[in-house]
Amino acid sequence: MADSSPSADLLDRASKVFGMANSLARGFQNENREQVPMLVLDESPREGHRKKISDFIAATLDLRDAIESPPEGFEAVAEQLLKACQLARILPLMDGWDLLDQWPSLNQIAFDGHIAVTEAVKAKRLEDPWAFLDRPPASDAEPAADADQQNPAKPIQTKSKRSTERGEGRAKLIAALTKYHKYADDGCLNLEPAGSNELARLAGVSVSTASAFFSKEFGGHTKYRAICADATSLIAGLKLLNQEFSPHDLYGGKPPGEVEREDDE
């Protein structure tokens, strides 16, 4: 039977739309705060955000087929995309404060859309019995278990202890990264990427352990930095990470908005 669930590409494109909505919301909100309502704006907000609005409209229209006839498991995402389309349609007709005041609507679409995509990805993984094949390769430390089995002189507990230590190290790294990005705080999300050295210090683990963590959970530090460039993508990554689900599995080889750059840790 053919798989009727939403493809990874479709979910990625939807995620980008919600990321654009989040970016516009932040821009409108920041400009709204900086302006004095009693004064006339020197520049039309629509002119200042023309490129982002145009990209947002194009991205929503590109998904109209999936919105009209959503594949199984994509219905909730399509519902949020429809709201994005309805707002994208009227944005070019607005100007001044009317346009800037749309930031709460854009922010809500981004948030609800992120939740819908997250749930769709989780459902897709649960339905796919071969999902484990898509996970990143195990760290270099994993093959050591075979050596233990071939050497009966070593107690079996040594292997269990190493496994426990790896689990504890991962838990420390997740907690440290979550705290570093202020994910669980009520304050502003920290979008600045953490380096391996800094995360290792915060978690109390070795730098090599922190580096392996970025490779296994995000597919590398470059991809992690690309995720940090977009608040919605970062929130999705941290949310999935805290639910024991790798962000690398959600975004695959290239997270939304990734630009190929050399690692400069």
* pLDDT per position as a tens digit, 110-119: 999 999 998 8
Vertex 175 angle, CA 119 and 244, to 5°:
35
Calculate what percentage of the chain has a pLDDT beyond 90: 24
Tell me what pLDDT residue 142 has: 38
Radius of gyration of the chain (CA): 22
CA dist 55 and 94 (Å) reads 16
Mean pLDDT of 177-186: 79
Q: Are residues 198 and 234 in contact, defined by beta-carbon separation less than 8 angstroms?
A: no
Residues 6 or more apart from 166 whose CB is under 8 A from it?
141
Mean pLDDT of 242-249: 52
In terms of Cα–Cα distance, which of 132, 114, 129 is closest to 5?
Answer: 129
Which segment, 62-76, 136-150, 247-261, is predicted with the most confidence on average?
62-76
Name the token pair of 137.
């390769």
Q: Are residues 265 and 225 in contact, defined by beta-carbon separation less than 8 angstroms?
A: no
206 DSSP assignment: -
Tell me what pLDDT residue 227 has: 85
Alpha-carbon distances of 67 from 125, 173, 233, 241, rounded to whole Å: 22, 38, 21, 28
- Strand (E) or helix (H) holding 141: none
Name the token pair of 230.
């977009």
Q: Indicate the pTM of the whole model.
A: 0.47
Q: Give residue 130's identity as a one-letter amino acid code.
A: W
Which segment, 24-38, 83-97, 162-176, is predicted with the most confidence on average?
83-97
Between residues 205 and 129, the one the model is more confident about: 205
Which segment, 70-74, 153-157, 256-260, is predicted with the most confidence on average?
70-74
CA dist 130 and 8 (Å) reads 14
CA dist 161 and 144 (Å) reads 13
Q: Are residues 46 and 98 in contact, defined by beta-carbon separation less than 8 angstroms?
A: no
